[in-house]
């Protein structure tokens, strides 16, 4: 007669199986991957070898526990996480945070950018530095009739300060010619070096004159355009000599010695042909030394040759 398994034995096996299941469930939720171990503790089976149902269930549960312990990610309950700070080399780089606008590449065949740089005017007063009216090497002459007077003493020391030897031409008429060479630096400024020759006559006396002058011409209203570009002012400074001559005896009755000279004039240059220009001139010149004085007014013409013309 076969022997029966005691009831307490069956209950003990069921309780042991339940505890084993709970212990295995707690080991299937690790936070980090763990190295698999080669040894796994198996609880001893309390069932009898002659009970096939209990033995097979215990064996299946033990195998499943071994699989879960060896590979905790096999059932999808735990996903391995990448370590912090790991960068995938195949991922595209993030764009740099910059406030500068990006300029598209136009390619090698694109035309270079052309920057419009305004022309800088280097001439004084904002005038155009290019030649419009006058420029380059110049040759000029001023000539015309004069109206003037001369008074003075002989140059001898004993006579120059003696009023009894003073002679005067009174108002007389004559001429003046002033040639000069120079250059036109701009349309509104010309300079030159020259000489001035003249003579005036009144009654039986005459007064010849020779001076060396530094000649300047300025066009202060050139920037206004039109006719103002040809209206200028002349300045002559220099030194020379003059005398008063008795026409009857052809002798000097007064002599200036070395004397200073200064002149001012106004010109207009309306007539032009090729490199030549001309126009009316009005000027005043005064010459003096300690015991001699001579002044005249010239109303004549001024002619110019300009080396550079537009």
User: DSSP label at 95?
Assistant: P
pLDDT score of 133: 87
pLDDT in tens, 67-95: 554 454 444 444 545 554 455 555 555 55
SS3 291: coil
Tokens of residue 192, six digits: 């030159």
Q: How far apart are CA 290 and CA 256, in angstroms?
A: 8
Q: Please report, for residues 152, 161, 241, 243, 293, the alpha-carbon distance to residue 250 in angstroms, rounded to integers and kept in the order given.
A: 17, 23, 17, 12, 20
pLDDT score of 194: 97
Residue positions counted in the chain: 310
pLDDT score of 131: 78
Nearest to 309 by CA among 59, 56, 138: 138
- The more confidently predicted of residues 306 and 39 is 306
Please give the average per-residue pLDDT across 6-13, as a whole number.
65
Question: What does residue 286 show for φ and ψ, rounded to 5 degrees?
Answer: -125, 135
Assess contact for 262 and 256: CB atoms under 8 A: no
Instruction: Among 39-43, 85-89, 296-300, name the most confident range.
Output: 296-300
Q: How far apart are CA 4 and CA 49, in angstroms?
A: 13
Residues in CB range of 70: below 8 A, 6 or more apart: 36, 37, 40
**CA quadruple 74, 19, 57, 9: dihedral, nearest 10:** 170
pLDDT in tens, 94-117: 555 545 555 555 555 555 555 555
Residues in CB range of 181: below 8 A, 6 or more apart: 137, 138, 139, 140, 192, 193, 194
Other beta carbons less than 10 A from residue 20's beta carbon: 16
**pTM to 2 decimals?**
0.58
134-308 CATH choice from 2.40.160.20, 3.40.50.1100, 3.90.226.30, 1.10.10.10:
2.40.160.20
pLDDT in tens, 138-176: 999 999 999 999 999 998 888 998 999 999 999 999 999
Q: Domain residue spans in the chain?
A: 9-26+53-70, 134-308
């Amino acid at each position: 007669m076969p022997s029966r398994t005691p009831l307490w034995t069956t209950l003990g096996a069921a309780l042991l199986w339940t505890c084993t299941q709970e212990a295995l469930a707690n080991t299937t939720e690790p936070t980090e991957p763990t190295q698999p171990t080669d040894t796994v503790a198996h609880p001893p089976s309390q069932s009898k070898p002659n009970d096939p149902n209990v033995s097979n269930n215990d064996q299946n549960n033990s195998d499943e526990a071994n699989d879960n312990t060896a590979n905790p990610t096999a059932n999808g309950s735990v996903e391995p996480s990448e370590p912090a700070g790991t960068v995938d080399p195949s991922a595209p780089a993030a764009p740099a945070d910059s406030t500068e606008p990006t300029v598209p590449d136009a390619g090698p065949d694109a035309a270079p950018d052309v920057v419009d740089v305004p022309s800088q005017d280097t001439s004084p007063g904002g005038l155009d530095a290019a030649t419009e009216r006058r420029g380059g090497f110049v040759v000029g002459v001023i000539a015309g009739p004069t109206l003037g007077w001369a008074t003075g003493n002989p140059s001898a020391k004993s006579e120059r300060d003696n009023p009894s030897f003073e002679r005067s031409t009174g108002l007389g008429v004559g001429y003046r010619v002033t040639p000069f060479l120079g250059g036109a630096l701009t349309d509104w400024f010309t300079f030159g070096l020259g000489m001035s020759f003249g003579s005036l006559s009144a009654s039986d006396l005459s007064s010849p004159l020779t001076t060396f002058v530094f000649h300047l011409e300025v066009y202060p209203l050139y920037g206004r355009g039109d006719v103002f570009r040809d209206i200028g002012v002349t300045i002559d400074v220099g030194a020379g000599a003059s005398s008063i001559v008795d026409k009857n005896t052809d002798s000097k009755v007064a002599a200036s010695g070395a004397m200073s000279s200064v002149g001012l004039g106004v010109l207009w240059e309306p007539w032009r042909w090729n490199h030549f220009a001309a126009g009316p001139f009005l000027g005043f010149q005064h010459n003096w030394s300690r015991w001699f004085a001579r002044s005249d007014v010239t109303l004549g013409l001024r002619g110019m040759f300009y080396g550079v013309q537009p």
